[in-house]
Amino acid sequence: MALFSKTKKSESVLPNYQGESLSTAFDRVIFESLSTDEDAYITSLATELMDGHPLVLNFEELQPDPANKIMAFLSGVVFALEGDIIQINKKVFLFARQQEFKDGTLKQFIDEYKD
């Protein structure tokens, strides 16, 4: 089972708003395998998180110091947004605002892939 596949068990029809189809939180997830702790990259991830895109980040390729830097920074962002950080496995984490959990698609993803 691939950790970063975006398959759904069931399709649901979402309402339209001003002619645009609404997307689920899972449809907005950004999956990243981290390989750098460059400030511009990390702040761009934080901006995506603030804009309503949950992040699933894989820390496997990073050494402990860069991984801790990223975790500390994004933890602060999540705290300010009143969000949650969910550990999916040893080195993969989900960062999301609280409202992203309301439609249930993130919980379904977590239940499917969490160790």
Give the pLDDT confidence of 48-104 residue by residue, as tens digits: 999 999 999 999 999 999 999 999 999 999 999 999 999 999 999 999 999 888 888
Selected from 2.60.120.10, 3.40.50.2300, 3.30.110.150, 3.40.50.300, the CATH number assigned to the domain covering 24-113 reads: 3.30.110.150
Give the pLDDT confidence of 28-54 residue by residue, as tens digits: 889 999 999 999 999 999 999 999 999
**Most distant pair of Cα atoms in the chain: their distance:** 46
Secondary structure (DSSP) of 5-53 = ----SS--PPPEETTEE---TGGG-EEEE-----HHHHHHHHHHHHTT-
Closest CA to 49 of 5, 102, 105, 99: 99
- Structure token pair of residue 113: 């892939």
Q: In terms of residues, how long is the chain?
A: 115
